[in-house]
Amino acid sequence: MKRNIIAGNWKMNMNNSQTAELIAALGKLGKETKTEVVVCVPFTNLAAARKAIRGTGIKLGAQNVHWAKSGAFTGEVSADMLTEQGVEYVIVGHSERRQYFNETNETVNARAKAALAAGLKVIICVGETLDQREQGITEKVVTEQTIAALTDISAEQLKKVVIAYEPVWAIGTGKTATAQDANDTIAVIRKVVRKLYSRTIAGALRIQYGGSMNANNAKELMAMPQIDGGLIGGASLKPADFIKVVQFDK
């Protein structure tokens, strides 16, 4: 059976002392639940987070990675740099990267392949804007993004991939797709993977919902048959709320 995965995306928040305090407040969350728990922290907090998660069962994640092993890429971080810091997961293609930093389907794919080649596990984000949703092209957008993101990624490598469906209009706005809408769009993503690989592989792939999942709606969303977890933004910065999301079935 697949193991659900809840990942906290801290975005550009928390310093080192706050990182230690927040993780301490989570306790042994990763050992006390069947759900896999990940915290994706800013680059500057990786060392502090690595120390703080010892004995908790929580996995360490980063928020971005460059496609080159090294070079003149000021401000970027390579996959090898992340693995050296003990990182296990990395987010690529987050909607904020696409919206504010000119991320494209091609660069998302390049980052994902570089991360996988270095042994990292990858959370690949896809999702439509409000305008695209209102145009009725959600299925077209997520299909194109998924196909592009998985280009030249083998079935074996896909075992280390998680896809996060995050409708851009629901990120940080407090708005959330209905549980059924989220489930239906994730079903579209899974259909794409089935066509690219196989029914078995598509069924085994974990797909998260990343549109403002929180303590109040996690149980309903996680009850949907296509949803295997969540990529959590604001709620991941509040220990009590994050614990409730992870323990959605209690």
What does the block give as tokens for 27?
């306790």
Q: CB pairs under 8 A, 24+ apart, for 139-146? A: 139/185, 139/188, 142/185, 142/188, 142/189, 142/192, 143/188, 143/189, 143/192, 144/105, 145/93, 145/105, 145/108, 146/189, 146/192, 146/193
Mean pLDDT, the chain, integer:
95
Q: How far apart are CA 2 and CA 12, in angstroms?
A: 30
Q: How does DSSP classify residue 45?
A: G
Cα distance between residue 75 and residue 90, in whole Å:
17
Backbone angles phi, psi at 10, to 5 degrees: -75, -15
Which pLDDT does position 70 carry in this prediction? 97
Active site residues: 94, 166
Instruction: Identify whether the C-beta of residue 62 lies closer than 8 Å to the C-beta of residue 90.
Output: yes
1 pLDDT tier (thresholds 50, 70, 90): confident
Per residue in 188-210, pLDDT (tens digit) is: 999 999 999 999 999 999 999 99
pLDDT at 174 over 70: no
pLDDT at 125: 98
**Confidence (pLDDT) at 134:** 87
Q: Place domain 5-246 in its CATH homologous superfamily.
A: Aldolase class I (3.20.20.70)
Q: Do 69 and 79 meet the contact criterion of CB atoms below 8 Å apart?
A: yes
Q: Percent of the chain beyond pLDDT 70?
A: 98
Q: What's the CA gap between 97 and 41, in Å, rounded?
A: 15
Task: Supply angle C-alpha 163, 167, 172, rounded to 5.
Answer: 110
